[in-house]
Amino acid sequence: MSFTYTLWFGFFGLLIGHLPGAITGAIIGFVFDNLRHSQRRQATPEAGGFVGPLFALLGAVAKSDGRVSEAEIAVAERMMARMGLDAAQRQQAIASFNAGKQPEFDVTPTIDELRRWAGLRRDHAFPVLDVVIDTVLAEGNPPPEKMAILRQLAFALRVSDMELMALMAMKGYAWNAGGARGRGGQGHGGGGYVPPQRSTRGPDPYTVLGIERGADDRAVKRAYRKLISEHHPDRLGDLPEAMRRQAESRASEINAAYERIKAERGFK
């Protein structure tokens, strides 16, 4: 914690009111320093602080439809390996995943932990959602139980349904929030999962940017700037390399979607 304000206010208090003024100024400065420190802690996630709650939530998602599949276990194991967890962190992740599988497990406190960890950093919220989406879609078209947990997490992280739909579209999921059947055929909760070979051109570019096809050019540019600023890998700080690579992939899809729309509309 920095004591810059404490020193400055104390110094000015000394000039104005000698020792009593210095004491009063130092107290006021300390309050400002403490507020600034609290804001920084809220805005900057603690390194590794997401491991326990994240893997507990993965376990809960996997178990939410009644059984944990090999595909869902594989997602968790793959993330442990890609995150480069050390032995202690790996044991923590396994224990948390197993705890999340228990019938009595309540996801709400765990989601709240992830919300507090991400704080004001939406660019940290999206990589967390990415990992959970991988588990939700591990078996293909997800049941309502999995989607309910995912949407609860998205709401807690201040990510809208439209933004969540865009993230899922990048992974081949076509979701119609109004309840219509998705591209993947039989849809749970109004969506459908399409495997990675879904299209030679990728997902719908308007869905990726979270806008309607009829949006004007200014809305398209505004949506693109907002998304790319929130998803840019350079802003991710101390996240593991695996999650950084996911952010890079997502940023590439956002750029590709924007380029397709520009080419279709003929603007720069």
Q: What is the percent of the chain with per-residue pLDDT over 90, rounded to a whole number?
A: 24
Contact 254, 209 (CB under 8 A): yes
Per-residue confidence band for 181, with pLDDT thresholds at 50, 70 and 90: very low
Residue 60 binned pLDDT confidence (cut-offs 50, 70, 90): very high
The residue length of the chain stands at: 268
Strands 191-193 vs 173-175: parallel, antiparallel or unpaired: antiparallel
- Type of residue found at 94: I
pLDDT of the residue at 146: 94
Same domain, 182 and 140: yes
At 51, the pLDDT band (50, 70, 90 cuts) reads confident
Half-sphere exposure of 22 (CA within 13 A, CB side): 6
Which of 41-50, 140-149, 221-230, 243-252 has the highest average model confidence (pLDDT)? 140-149
Question: Which of 119-133, 175-189, 251-265 is least confident?
Answer: 175-189
> How far apart are alpha carbons 77 and 94 in whole angstroms?
9
85/112 same-domain check: yes
Q: What are the start-end ranges of the H helices in the chain? A: 4-43, 51-63, 70-83, 87-100, 107-118, 122-136, 144-156, 161-169, 205-209, 217-231, 241-265
Q: How confident is the model at residue 36 (pLDDT cuts 50, 70, 90)?
A: low
Q: Are 119 and 39 found together in one domain?
A: no
Residue 151 confidence class, pLDDT cut points 50, 70, 90? very high
Find the distance separating the first CA and the last CA of the chain, reported in whole Å: 46
- pLDDT grade for 35, boundaries at 50, 70 and 90: low
On whether both 97 and 31 belong to a single domain, the answer is no
Domain region containing 23: 1-43
pLDDT at 13: 62
Same domain, residue pair 103 and 216? yes
Q: Is the pLDDT score of 110 beyond 60?
A: yes
User: Do residues 102 and 166 both lie within one domain?
Assistant: yes
Question: pLDDT: is 264 or 36 the higher one?
Answer: 264
3-class secondary structure, 191:
strand
Tokens of 174: 């076509």
The alpha carbon of 29 is separated from its chain's Cα centroid by a whole number of angstroms, namely 35
The mean pLDDT value for 64-77 works out to 92
Q: Are residues 229 and 247 in the same domain?
A: yes
Confidence at 37, pLDDT banded by 50, 70, 90: very low
Confidence band (pLDDT; 50, 70, 90) for 29? low
> Does the pLDDT of residue 132 top 60, yes or no?
yes
Q: Note whether 39 and 57 are same-domain residues.
A: no
User: Both 122 and 230 in a single domain?
Assistant: yes
How big is the chain by its Cα radius of gyration, in Å? 23
Q: How confident is the model at residue 238 (pLDDT cuts 50, 70, 90)?
A: low
Same domain, 89 and 22: no
| Count of domains forming the chain | 2
Global pTM exceeds 0.85:
no
Q: What average pLDDT score do residues 13-29 get?
A: 70
Q: What residues have CB less than 8 Å from 218, skipping those under 6 apart?
A: none
Residues 239 and 184 in one domain: yes
Q: Is the pLDDT of residue 47 over 90?
A: no
Do 139 and 179 lie in one domain? The reply is: yes
Mean pLDDT of the chain: 76
Tokens of 6: 């404490």
